[in-house]
Structure 1
Amino acid sequence: MTDPLSAEPHAATGPAPTGRPLPHVSSLWDPPVFWVTFGSVSLIFLAALTSMALTTVMPFVSDDLDGQALFALAFSGTLATGVIGMVASGAWSDRAGPVAPLATSVALFVLGQTMSAVAPTMELLVLGRLVTGLGSGGQTVALYVVVARVYPPSLHGRVMALFSAAWVVPSLVGPFLAGAVTEHLHWRWVFAGLAVLAVVAFTMVAPRLRHLAEDSEGEREAGVGRRLLLAVVVAVAALGLGMTGELATSVAPALAWAVAAAALVVIGVAILPLLPRHTLRLGVGLPSVIVMRALIAGSLFGAEVYVPYLLIERFGFSAMWAGLGLTAAAIAWAISAQVSGRHGDRIGNTRIAVIGVALLSVATLACALTPVLDLPAWAPIALWSCAGFGMGLMYPRQTVLMLAYSTRAEEGFNSSALQISDSVSASATIAVMGLIFTSLAGTGAEFAAVFALALALALLAIVPGMRLGHAHEASSVRG
């Protein structure tokens, strides 16, 4: 292996050295990894921007294509197919390294965006969104494996802090940019532009990864077909769960709750083989990392759907001003992610868990008490920033721990498990909260109830948070 310290000044344009991570790389912007860092962060940014931009352009899409009936499916379908992409990419990465899965995932992402850009009907646009979900889900998992193969463990925290910021920044600029493009050009240019930018970002990364050594250990290869089938089951059940809110309003709440309960059972049974062993038992280390990620994702992403709604309904805020509550939390998340990335080892995993859960709990409690105690508007806005700061501490740290607990043969499987627990928990919680909100509508207790569920999930997260273990102990597994 070429010593990165002896690289020529133009080494930033060459491939990353093969084999093990680079122990002598001291910065994410050192020449051997510069373009890998820049391109990977760009791909994460574009995937997040796609999600944020969709909230702005979909009303226009729906009007142009007469697709009101498929409006919700354009959102939920992407998340569902993402689970399939995660499992496929994880298994493929473990068997043959991350390069081919990443290339395929980006190709699917670009294809889906292109299909959406040229779709003449809402049905074809939704199909494009489903393809986009396959690509975005697989892409994130493959990039996690790239991090494990290219960067030394000492830099994993900083990489994940950048990834975290790349998810947060689109929440600040995405809706505005998408709205500007839609207003001055057309909504189709939003999808087309994202497709082009994804190709550009991938060309930054791909040449620098072409010499990554392939893994042929294939320890989990025999179960790939079964896991893909289970991923499809989870995706379908998640879609069904997401549609129960409409069922509650159009048919009967009791039937909706029955369907939701059945969907949750199916998801629970089908998802277990997609997660590490001993996850249900909260085993020390990786299993507890996975469970904690699921709980805090459900708490935050479920609750944040209702923060602007609370400000609009309770205090008469406009949509723009109501969104500022989420903007402040996003900024806090980006700041604390950098703290976690740079000082996570010094702070310690248990302390990060305690501080993060406490901040998330304070935020959800404040939102739950606002309608009950008639708190002023500044209380949920200011305290929701605590949720963002707490998540910024915990979220990237859990990805670092996952990689530290993974052998080379398991990096893809464990990366997909972390992403699946995250996305499925968030979507399931949002669906259940929607049922709760619909069932209690008009009673005055609907907001308190959904935020109380978010608080309960946050408090439960402290249990696995006490069993995270220590990344420096697990890093010795790499040898």
Structure 2
Amino acid sequence: MSSPHDDAAPAKSTRFFATWNSGELTLLIGAVALITFSAFEAVATTTIMPNVVADLRAESWFSVASGAAFTAQLIAVVIAGPMSDWRGPRPVLLSGVGAFAVGLLACAWAPHITVFIVGRLIQGLGAGLTIVPLYVLIGALAEKKHHPTFFAAFSLAWVFPSLFGPALAGWVTLRFGWRPLFGVVPFAALVALIPLLILLSAMPPRSDTPAPQLRFLTSMAVLAGSGVFFVQLAGALTGWKLVVLSLLGVALCVAVLPRLLPPGLFTFAPGIPALIATRGLNLAALTGAVAFLPLVLQRVHGWDAAQASLAVTLSSVGWSVGATVQARVSRPVTRFRLPFIGATLSAACLVVVSFLILPSFPIWVALVASAFMGGGTGLLHSTASVIALDMTDVREHGKVSSWLQIADTAASAMQLAVTSIVLGLWILLPGMSGTPNAYIPASVLIVFSAILAVFSARNVQVPPQE
């Protein structure tokens, strides 16, 4: 049914975009298209990875094949920011989209698991080199008042892939196999790049920024990526191998990550450090919850995979709603309070979700909480991007964008890896394996990260005046 206000909607939308110049609209269209195809690839790959390793007769390589792109992306975002500040976003973005396409094509044609993993590594490098220059382009070309809309659109770009990606990927795999999913996305990404080529060609190269220490940054990035990868791999092992790889991975992360992130981040220092820490911790908690919810719904409450995916869908929709709400906040003081509001909302909902390990807990309550949990992250995540760009000079937008992406990637990867390791040790205790109590560590770690995010958000400074 139509409402009396439907006729006014197009005019309102037209008035809204009337304040945008052609460059901003072109950037919005191209960036959202790129992120949409990247999101679909990420969702589809998660869905079909069991089919991939089974077809390549490499079931034991599942964790490596799944985590390779994540590790490579962490390495890429370290160098993408300084490179964008030094040479401008154009060469970094073109290299990123090119590598993303080449990596996916390598996966599509892979005759062996080793070729597939190499393709995943190249694809991950491309993804990391793509997202950071998009942030830099927003800072350089878009008016500050339009920044919230850009980041809300980035969140909305995940809605369609999250809602329909798993089902579509499953249908394609069933009818045609998994390879077409890796073979089609590269061409779609290249088409999405076309609107951005006009903007990129008009941008002069940077010349007033000192060359970054690429050799040092690359070595640190490789060590950090290796640390995260070792912790991920340890979760799939047992015995002394689990212990050795866990200790090695954690040691590398502790030694290297502080050098790649702003000083004071691990102590929640006021300003940018606390802001980036809040976003990383909150996203880590959400990532853990998104992995935790379907598992508990199936193992404890007897739902099938299709039913259990409803929790993830509701979380994604909630995120998009939260991101849309933050885009409508114009008062600076209110915007600076959104990270705390979002972190608190997410933490409260995650506490509710954690009770899902109880067989008698009402499922509908947890599902509602999962939607509001995503809403809190939507308020926080996009707002953090806006505030971070607004608080830094345009010549340092690449660096701060890298910080945001490093924190997101490393925190989420470590959340999943540490949870996997702790769960593996926990179920060795008498009476734990095969019972709802086996998932207690996952609940505790998720809530712990969410509460840390709330404490960190308290140090996001509010500007002294409107």
Other-structure match for 1:3 = none
Q: 2:213 aligns with which of 213, 223, 230?
A: 223
8 Å contact from structure 1 (residues 215, 409) kept in 2? no
Matched, 1:233 2:223: yes
Return the letter of the residue paired with 2:146. L
Q: SS at the partner of 1:66?
A: coil
Structure 2 CA distance for partners of 1:280 and 1:362, relative to 1, 3 Å: closer
1:379-394 correspondence to structure 2 within 5 Å: 379-394=365-380
Other-structure match for 1:203 = 194
User: Which runs of at least 4 in structure 1 moved beyond 4 Å after TM superposition?
Assistant: 25-30, 470-474
Return the letter of the residue paired with 2:437. A
8 Å contact from structure 1 (residues 80, 239) kept in 2? yes
Q: 1:37 aligns with which of 25, 28, 35?
A: 28
Inter-partner Cα distance in structure 2 for 1:380 and 1:75: 28
1:244-255 correspondence to structure 2 within 5 Å: 244-248=234-238, 251-252=239-240
Q: 1:109 aligns with which of 79, 87, 100?
A: 100
Matched, 1:155 2:146: yes
Inter-partner Cα distance in structure 1 for 2:332 and 2:456: 20
Matched, 1:468 2:454: no
Return the letter of the residue paired with 1:209. L
Q: SS at the partner of 2:164?
A: helix
Structure 2 CA distance for partners of 1:165 and 1:128, relative to 1, 3 Å: same
Return the letter of the residue paired with 1:310. V
Structure 2 CA distance for partners of 1:50 and 1:373, relative to 1, 3 Å: closer
Inter-partner Cα distance in structure 2 for 1:426 and 1:69: 23
Structure 2 CA distance for partners of 1:351 and 1:371, relative to 1, 3 Å: same
Matched, 1:320 2:306: yes
Matched, 1:353 2:339: yes
Other-structure match for 1:285 = 271
Structure 2 CA distance for partners of 1:330 and 1:61, relative to 1, 3 Å: same
Other-structure match for 1:15 = none
Query: TM-score under structure 2 normalisation?
Result: 0.90
Aligned sequence identity (%): 27
1:78-227 correspondence to structure 2 within 5 Å: 78-219=69-210, 221-227=211-217
Inter-partner Cα distance in structure 2 for 1:349 and 1:451: 30
Return the letter of the residue paired with 2:452. L
Return the letter of the residue paired with 2:409. S
Q: Which moved more, 1:170-179 or 1:99-108?
A: 170-179
8 Å contact from structure 2 (residues 82, 398) kept in 1? yes
Alpha-carbon offset, residue 27 of structure 1? 5.7
Structure 2 CA distance for partners of 1:256 and 1:62, relative to 1, 3 Å: closer
Other-structure match for 2:10 = none
8 Å contact from structure 2 (residues 228, 413) kept in 1? yes
Q: 2:324 aligns with which of 309, 330, 338?
A: 338
8 Å contact from structure 2 (residues 326, 335) kept in 1? no
Other-structure match for 1:368 = 354
Q: SS at the partner of 1:293?
A: helix
Q: SS at the partner of 1:246?
A: coil
Other-structure match for 1:242 = 232
Q: SS at the partner of 2:197?
A: helix
Structure 2: gaps of 5 or more residues: 1-15
Alpha-carbon offset, residue 471 of structure 1? 7.0
Matched, 1:56 2:47: yes
Structure 2 CA distance for partners of 1:214 and 1:462, relative to 1, 3 Å: same
Inter-partner Cα distance in structure 2 for 1:470 and 1:147: 23
Query: TM-score under structure 1 normalisation?
Result: 0.88
Offset from partner CA, 1:51-102 (integer Å, 9 cap, x none) = 1000222222222221212221121110100012112211210101101100
8 Å contact from structure 2 (residues 72, 125) kept in 1? yes
Matched, 1:431 2:417: yes
Offset from partner CA, 1:131-190 (integer Å, 9 cap, x none) = 000000110011110111110111111100001111343111211222222233332111
CA RMSD in angstroms, aligned pairs only: 2.1
